[in-house]
Amino acid sequence: MPRPFMATAPRHLSRAFEFNVAVAHSLTQAAVPHLLKAGAEDGTTGAVINISSAVGRVAGRGYLAYGTAKAALAHYTRLAAADLAPKIRVNAIAVGAAATSALDIVLTDDTLRGQMEAVTPLGRIGDPQEIAATVVFLASPASGYMTGKILEVDGGIEQPNLDLGIPDL
Positions marked active-site: 66
* C-alpha to C-alpha distance for 74 and 50, rounded to whole angstroms: 8
Cα 6 to Cα 2, 3, 30, 61, 69: the distances in Å are 12, 8, 37, 11, 18
CB 50 within 8 A of CB 77: yes
Helix, strand, or coil (residue 95): strand
Helix, strand, or coil (residue 61): coil
* C-alpha to C-alpha distance for 140 and 47, rounded to whole angstroms: 8
